[in-house]
Amino acid sequence: HWMTPSASRTCLTRSVMSEAAESRNNDVVEPPVFDNTGLPESWEAAVLLVDKPVGLTSFGVVKRIRHRVPVRKVGHAGTLDPMATGLLIILVGRATKSMDHFMGQDKIYTGTIRLGETTASYDAESEVLERHPTDHLSDADVATATRPFIGTIGQRPPAFSAIKIGGERLYK
């Protein structure tokens, strides 16, 4: 059970979503446009399942939804980095009281690994600092190296993380 029986569940669908195209000139990200397909009649308690595009922050999604619903209480159950895509659970109205339930659910992450490249931010958001040859690596070598990232893991945020320590963003 995801929520109490009285809470409504619905899906926010995208009517226009063109990969959140980034302009090379000024790094403006085109916001997605959401239609009203499948939205509830009552916003007393709703859960919206949003396919977050690249380039939009989790709070950016919340902000856009907050401007389109007749309820001020809107939040998300877990932050996705701006570069990440995937399911973002948006809670509206009384459903925000179920945030801990959603945050406690198992999650599955997938990604692409670029072997032989090193960046300061540990992801594709910063420039490649070093490149190393990878043709000597076998599939077995890659499987062995990725094994520690499979299953339940403790994750230490990198210095570029948006996490706050002492009220200050870690990357600052």
Which residues, given as ranges, of the chain have pLDDT below 50? 1-34
Question: Residue length, the chain?
Answer: 172
| Phi and psi angles of residue 63, each rounded to the nearest 5 degrees, phi first | -60, -45
Task: Give the mean pLDDT of the chain.
Answer: 75
Residues labelled catalytic: 81
